[in-house]
């Protein structure tokens, strides 16, 4: 069968099964198998698919996924989310704008321990949104702040999508983690400015944006303070060790998972059932991510036969001499894809297609991986399927369209400013990794 006909059949396969609600991993795997079979027949399939699956499943860099997931699960089941917010609540002095800032910072810390934008947004919607409403923000804007704060988990390390990108593009994951710090800080600063400029205040709210201090029990204060110090110490050990060249990314994941488990047990925050559930959920998410990566590998094999990346390079040849323009186009594609698909699915679907184009245009793969993750994080906030905004709205049983209205303002502001800064000053991403031992 001709290459053109095969590609159209594969595109139709994607469109039909995604529309029917089929899992992205299954669609990728099926499209890859069908495409290969149409090109070379069914005979060689076993000799191609079997080794590819074995090789993908044994990639060393993917072995760290369950470690970081276990660290996140232990901290989440230990009630760290509520404690981080309570510390921020007290540090804000129970004032409106400082509490909004504290929520955004809490979201960034939460991103460093959860790795899931949707989960972080839903948790903050339940914990932070009611307190923000008490201080005068409208309900929809309070939920928008929760969604925006939770979406930072796609940028703040240890981001799972960066682990997947590093595995697919052969970029050191530790460098991706450290390189993401600059864009994450930029996004936080932009969100704080948007909070001040675009904040929606209820008409009946107090002008000074305060409520009387609500004293907590001494035990509650000590508990939340200890949890906050534990999380900060854990982050310093894990990411300080990576940056200092003392431990590898995999070793950092193992230390983080073990320390999180022992810490939660020592503080009597988890029981044996919680530990079992954390292990179980880590395995389930790891298996789902592995299926995504395996499906992407088989689909990439089809792309190799179809020569679609080569055709894409030929099509883009007039602009290849301008890497900045190529980067803008590709980042826009990642942003749009993040509006419709889950973040990990965006990475495994697009990276095999655009990787040859990135190399042909001499675009730094480290820089692009961090920049693409930033675009995906912004896509989590925007309609029609922004998962962070949907999660925050669902957690509060509030119309998603109203949450999208506020969150999209944050996303557009960060998208324009951060993208411009990353293009003009790529060292925002590359400088810190270059200092690593």
In the chain, domain spans:
3-434
| Nearest Cα to Cα of residue 300 among 265, 347, 255, 339 | 347
Phi, psi of 267 (to 5 degrees): -85, 5
The pTM score is 0.80
pLDDT per residue of the chain (437 residues) written in tens, 0 to 9: 677 788 888 888 888 887 887 777 888 888 888 888 887 777 777 777 778 777 777 777 777 888 888 887 887 788 777 777 777 777 777 777 888 888 888 777 766 555 566 667 777 788 778 888 888 888 888 888 888 888 887 788 777 788 888 888 888 888 888 898 899 899 999 999 998 888 888 766 665 555 555 555 556 677 777 877 888 888 888 878 887 778 888 888 888 888 888 888 888 888 889 889 888 888 887 888 788 888 878 887 887 777 777 777 787 888 888 888 888 889 888 888 877 777 777 888 888 888 888 888 889 999 999 999 888 888 878 877 677 888 888 888 888 888 888 888 888 898 889 989 999 999 999 998 888 76
Q: How far apart are CA 195 and CA 181, in angstroms?
A: 21
User: Whole-angstrom Cα distance, residue 202 to residue 229?
Assistant: 35
What pLDDT, on a 0 to 100 scale, did the predictor assign at position 341? 73
In the prediction, which pLDDT does 278 show?
Answer: 85
Count each helix (H run) and each strand (E run) in the chain, helices first: 22, 0
From the list 119, 175, 179, 126, the residue with the least C-alpha distance to 152 is 119
CA dihedral 406, 411, 412, 414 (to 10 degrees): 130
Residue 404 CB neighbour total at 10 angstroms: 22
Which tokens in the block code for residue 395? 């957690």
Per the listing, tokens 């190399």 go with: 359
Please report the pLDDT score of residue 189 as a whole number. Answer: 92
């Amino acid at each position: 069968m001709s290459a053109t006909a095969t590609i159209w059949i594969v595109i139709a396969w994607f469109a039909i099964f995604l529309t029917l609600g089929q899992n992205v991993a299954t669609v990728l795997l099926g499209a890859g198998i069908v495409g290969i079979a149409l090109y070379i027949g069914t005979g060689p399939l076993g000799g191609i698919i079997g080794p590819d699956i074995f090789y993908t499943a044994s990639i060393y860099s993917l072995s760290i996924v369950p470690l970081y997931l276990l660290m996140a699960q232990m901290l989440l089941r230990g009630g760290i989310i509520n404690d981080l917010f309570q510390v921020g609540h007290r540090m804000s002095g129970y004032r409106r704008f400082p509490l909004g800032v504290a929520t955004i910072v809490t979201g960034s810390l939460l991103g460093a321990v959860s790795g899931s934008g949707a989960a972080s947004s839903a948790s903050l919607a339940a914990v932070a949104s009611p307190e923000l409403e008490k201080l005068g923000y409208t309900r929809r804007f309070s939920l928008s702040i929760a969604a925006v704060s939770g979406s930072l988990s796609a940028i703040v390390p240890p981001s799972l999508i960066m682990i997947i990108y590093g595995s697919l593009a052969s970029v050191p994951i530790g460098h991706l983690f450290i390189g993401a710090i600059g864009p994450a800080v930029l996004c936080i600063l932009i969100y704080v400015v948007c909070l001040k400029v675009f904040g929606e205040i209820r008409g009946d709210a107090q002008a000074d944006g305060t409520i009387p201090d609500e004293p907590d029990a001494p035990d509650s204060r000590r508990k939340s303070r200890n949890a906050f110090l534990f999380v900060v110490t854990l982050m310093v050990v894990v990411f300080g060790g990576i940056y200092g060249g003392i431990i590898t990314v995999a070793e950092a994941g193992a230390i983080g998972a073990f320390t999180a488990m022992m810490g939660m047990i020592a503080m009597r925050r988890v029981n044996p059932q919680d530990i079992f559930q954390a292990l179980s959920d880590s395995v389930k998410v790891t298996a789902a991510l592995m299926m995504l990566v395996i499906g992407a590998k088989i689909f990439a094999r089809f792309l190799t036969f179809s020569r679609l990346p080569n055709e894409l390079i030929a099509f883009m040849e007039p602009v290849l001499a301008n890497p900045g323009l190529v980067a803008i186009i590709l980042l826009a594609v990642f942003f749009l894809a993040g509006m419709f698909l889950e973040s990990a699915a965006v990475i495994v679907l697009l990276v095999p297609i655009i990787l040859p184009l990135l190399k042909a245009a001499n675009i730094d793969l480290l820089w692009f991986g961090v920049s693409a993750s930033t675009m995906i994080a912004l896509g989590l906030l925007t309609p029609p399927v922004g998962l962070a905004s949907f999660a925050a709205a669902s957690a509060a049983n509030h119309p998603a369209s109203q949450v999208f209205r506020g969150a999209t303002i944050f996303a557009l502001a960060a998208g324009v400013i951060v993208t411009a800064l990353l293009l003009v000053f790529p060292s925002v991403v590359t400088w810190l990794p270059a200092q690593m031992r």
